[in-house]
Amino acid sequence: MTRRTTAADAQQLKEPWPEQWASFIGFFVYLLILKSFFLPLFIIPTGSMAETLYGAHAMHTCPNCGTEYAVGWQQPPDGGDARAAYHPVVQCPNCRWREYYGPPGSLSPMRAQPDSLLAEPLRPAAGDRIFVHGWSFDLPFARMDKLGPQRWDVVVFKVPTDGQTNYIKRLIGLPGEKIELIDGDLYVNDCLEPKSHDAQRSLWFPYYNQDFPPRRTAGQAAYCPRWIALDAGGGWSGLDTRVVRLSNPARIPAVIQFATDAGNPSRPGVIQDVYAYNEPRIDHPGNVVTDVRLSAEVDVARLGDDGWIELHVTKAEHSFFARLTADHWLALEHQPNGAANRETWDKCPWRYEDGPMHLALSHVDGRVVVEVDGRIAMESTRAQYEITPQKAAALSAAQQPPVLRIAGQNAQATLRHLLIERDVYYTSDVRVTGGAGYAVQGHPTTLAANEYFMLGDNSPNSLDARFAFAGMHTDPVGPHLKAAAARPEGEGRFHPGTVPGDQLIGRAFFVYWPGFMPTTPWGSGRLPNLLPDLGRTRWIH
């Protein structure tokens, strides 16, 4: 027979109150230790790491193409009218349509002019809240492989200008290395340094998505992104829709090309380091970016005996191809300008009878990569193709846009989710007074022992190591580093533009609460966003 629990038994099962208080205190101490040393929490204050991480921002949907994007947000200046929130000119990253909230004619001519007015003010949201590994940069972990600081990590550190403020940037330079930014890329010890696979996924920025074709040309930016047929009767259709089709039974290639110039459709489309997060600048439209990725879901219905379909990307005088052939091969091919024939760098088997495949061709960091269904199938080697610092400097001066094409012969196929992405471009447009900047083109920086170099992903709008983290009227050497900056060379001297190892806090690894906005006097007057946008919780790479 089961014995019934009595009140006396229940009283005996309860912990005495001193033990309950001890358990509570122990749990509190555990949380304190966890937060302080293992998982400290931070909120992103600015947009210097966009699009990887958002500071204070607003989400907006373009009325011209339907693309949703984040816009940087600024609190009104101290002493200003708290109700007069800052109203940026917002620009769609997909079609460059510009909007502004305010009475017509109220915008200063010194700012980029809008194509239309916003129906209502943007609704601000706070920066991303993140977890940080607070232990992996401390001894003995700092010197352990894969635990200590690694290139391309997103890192929280104490800024050298005061030693108190927490900054978050991407670590790109390690102790003892010579660092130089040339044509938007990172050179380490005079060799082009490719990004890690995880970092590169975060640093591909969507540039033009055929799933969101624009209805009108962005007149203020003089920008009209689209795919155009280079021959009138080539068999391409649906170029202004989400689904592009090829039906070309001829043995003559049918070619389409990406274009952005409304008046000259045959001119290759310009690709620049434009960030929707930043307000467009009329004095600096952007740098030409030549590291791009072209991708699409390809569904081949038929290939004739000599039929093929290919993606085509150029870098200066080099052309690269990812070609699907009727004999069931996917080939990575290369042809310099002026050469009579192509050379096949690599190939792998492929069967179009197996159904649609997601195919991507990219040129990034001196490598040519072919991806199938999100995995690398083939890539070039340095023996096949390499960009030296001298060549990169010449490419930077030329500002020659890449050519992106898709072609087919004796083929019938459907292309969906056609997408162009661009790589991050680390700009050398320095804005410091009396200096050329740190590690920018023509001015390399060599890191001493225990020094690190940090850059923001939003390169045109990041106060980072290129500027010694200092504005025009800020001393780049904080009080805590004055003595180290005065030491003789080679004796633990601090160099502006670097971050000492003992100022690193840890690696950022997870966004746990994006988009929360408490009630503020400069908000929109609506209820605050009390719940996170769970669709944007994510790992940080």
Q: What is the pLDDT along the chain (541 residues), one digit of tens a residue?
A: 444 544 444 444 455 555 555 555 554 554 555 555 556 778 898 999 999 999 989 999 999 999 999 999 876 555 444 444 567 899 999 999 999 987 777 788 888 999 999 988 888 888 898 888 877 676 666 666 667 899 999 999 999 999 999 999 999 999 999 999 999 999 999 999 999 999 999 999 999 999 999 999 999 999 999 999 998 667 999 999 999 999 998 889 999 999 999 888 889 999 999 999 999 988 777 899 999 999 999 999 999 999 999 999 999 999 999 999 999 999 999 999 989 999 999 999 998 888 999 999 999 999 999 999 999 999 999 999 999 999 999 999 999 999 999 999 999 999 999 999 999 999 986 654 445 789 999 999 999 999 999 999 999 999 999 999 998 788 999 999 999 999 998 888 999 999 999 999 989 998 987 766 544 444 444 444 555 667 778 899 9
Query: Which is it for strands 499-500 and 154-158: parallel, antiparallel or unpaired?
Result: unpaired
| CA separation, residue 348 to residues 277, 323, 361, 458 (Å) | 40, 11, 14, 37
How many beta carbons lie within 10 A of that of residue 317, not counting itself? 12
What whole-number distance in Å separates Cα of residue 417 and Cα of residue 401? 23
Contact indicator for 192, 217 with CB cutoff of 8 Å: no
Q: Is 297 exposed, middle or buried (0-12, 13-18, 19+ CB in 10 A)?
A: middle
Best CA proximity match to 155, nearest among 532, 523, 501, 535: 501
Neighbours of 398 (CB within 10 A): 12
Give the 3-state DSSP-derived string for 332-376, with helices as H, strands as E and coil as C.
Answer: EEEEECCCCCCEEEEEEECCHHHCCEEEEEEEECCEEEEEECCEE
> What SS3 class is residue 32?
helix
The pLDDT of residue 532: 60
Stated pTM of the model? 0.89
Classify residue 149 by burial, with Cβ atoms within 10 Å: 0-12, 13-18, 19+.
buried
Residue ranges and CATH numbers for the domains of the chain are 130-184+432-511 (2.10.109.10), 204-215+226-259+290-423 (2.60.120.560)
List of long-range contacts for 514-517, beta carbons under 8 Å, 24+ apart: 514/54, 514/125, 514/128, 514/129, 515/59, 515/125, 515/126, 515/128, 516/125, 516/126, 516/129, 517/124, 517/125, 517/126
Backbone angles phi, psi at 540, to 5 degrees: -105, 125
Element (DSSP H or E) covering residue 200: helix 197-202
**422 is written with which tokens?**
């661009």
In angstroms, what CA-CA distances link 246 with 333, 361, 407?
A: 22, 19, 9
At residue 243, the 3 state secondary structure works out as coil
